[in-house]
Homo-oligomer: A and B are copies of this chain.
Amino acid sequence: MGEFELIQRFFTRPTPQAVLGVGDDCALLQMAPGMQLAVSTDMLVAQRHFFAATDPHRLGHKALAVNLSDLAACGARPLAFTLALALPEADATWLEPFSQGLLALADAHGCELIGGDTTQGPLNICITVFGEVPVGAAQRPGQPATLALLRSGAQPGDDIYVSGTLGDARLALEALQGRMDLPDAVLNVARQRLEQPTPRVALGLALRGVASAAADISDGLLGDLGHILQCSGVGATLDTGIAINLLATQAYFTRASIPFNYMLSPQLALQCVLAGGDDYELVFTAPAAQRAAVQAASAASATPVTRIGQIDAAPGLRLVDGHGAPVANTFTSFDHFKA
């Protein structure tokens, strides 16, 4: 199978929305009037972001999901994406399920594959995703004129929320890499979160005009909330007593009466929740006056959200327990070039 047959067979599809899709030097998109283009790109490397033996159907899903998650964090509606793929070999038994997983998620979001590149090389998946957000008035002087959710809009006094559950992907990674034991039933739940994250696109759209700032959680909550704090020039206080309950599998342990020796220490559970990475949930802020609107956005998008803290004027990120007492922050987020 040659390069062009590979593209034709697995990655060429009708593109009713695009002016021109796969097969020319460029793809062409026509933005609707009053809309801005939102762009994000993510590169997934074998052994770094996923095990080479990962189920290719799940990998196809995840490769697009992590990009859609960036659109979600901006409140952008997905339009299209390009796929650049370096493959050790043109293996149809891998490409078929990979493309199916990828395109099933694309179809679910009306996101058209409009172009790409394939080459021989160490397995590497680079997707660039395109979405639309309405032009809008700048929230404050110096801010861009857009309705997109930005990292820079958090204000002192704003509530801090996260969507869904956190930390289970990291828990699965720890188990799959042999650093801990998990019962199969728990591992399967956690592994699903690692390998098939759900991009919170509907929530992002519902939060436009409601949230003051947002980011997606890819490197861990503390790190990604840290980006919001840095871009907004503010600090925050987080309640670890609430955060620890965001680990979906922790609740599962309790419900399923898993033997004590499998239970997580609170410290490990918090490490997973606060700095696990690979969650692809949203962390966002909103003024207290928007609490009802946040709940309405959560309901409209069928996405649970949890209020876990507050934005402070004082810089820095403070952790407190359920009684307001300080908790030492010994948690570190993921950095690709640090140990």
Q: Is the CB of A126 within 8 A of B43?
A: yes
A17 in the interface (beta carbon within 8 A): no
Smallest CB separation, A48 vs chain B (Å): 5
By a CB distance below 8 angstroms, the chain B residues around A41 are 82-84, 115-117, 126, 128
By a CB distance below 8 angstroms, the chain B residues around A45 are 86, 119-122, 124
Q: Is the CB of A119 within 8 A of B49?
A: yes
> Given A85-B43, A124-B86, is A25 in contact with B337 using a C-beta cutoff of 8 Å?
no
Smallest CB separation, A223 vs chain B (Å): 9
Q: Is the CB of B76 within 8 A of A26?
A: yes
Q: Is the CB of A122 within 8 A of B119?
A: no
Report A127-149 CB contacts with B as 1/0, cut-off 8 Å. Answer: 01011010100000000111010
Smallest CB separation, A156 vs chain B (Å): 21
Q: A90 is contacted by which of B90, B120, B337 (Cβ under 8 Å)? A: B337
Report A297-339 CB contacts with B as 1/0, cut-off 8 Å. Answer: 0000000000000000000000000000000000000011110
Q: Is the CB of B19 within 8 A of A145?
A: yes
Q: A6 is contacted by which of B119, B130, B133, B337 (Cβ under 8 Å)? A: B337
A70 to B165, CA, bound (A): 42
Stretch at the interface among A32-40, A54-62, A102-110: A32-40
Interface size on A, residues (CB 8 A): 73
A182 in the interface (beta carbon within 8 A): no
A151 in the interface (beta carbon within 8 A): yes
Write the chain B residue with the least CB distance to A215. B25
Q: Is the CB of A119 within 8 A of B48?
A: yes
A202 in the interface (beta carbon within 8 A): no
Report A11-30 CB contacts with B as 1/0, cut-off 8 Å. Answer: 00000000110011111111
A270 in the interface (beta carbon within 8 A): no
Q: Is the CB of B145 within 8 A of A2?
A: no
> Given A48-B119, A48-B120, A335-B2, is A28 in contact with B20 using a C-beta cutoff of 8 Å?
no
By a CB distance below 8 angstroms, the chain B residues around A133 are 28
By a CB distance below 8 angstroms, the chain B residues around A90 are 337
Interface CB pairs A-B, < 8 A, 25: A2-B335, A2-B338, A3-B335, A6-B337, A20-B148, A24-B74, A24-B152, A24-B215, A25-B40, A25-B73, A25-B151, A26-B148, A27-B38, A27-B39, A27-B40, A31-B37, A40-B82, A41-B84, A45-B120, A45-B122, A82-B128, A118-B336, A119-B336, A121-B124, A128-B128
Residues of A within 8 A of B (CB): 1-4, 6, 19-20, 23-31, 36-43, 45-49, 70-71, 73-74, 76, 82-87, 89-90, 114-122, 124, 126, 128, 130-131, 133, 135, 144-146, 148, 150-152, 214-216, 231, 335-338
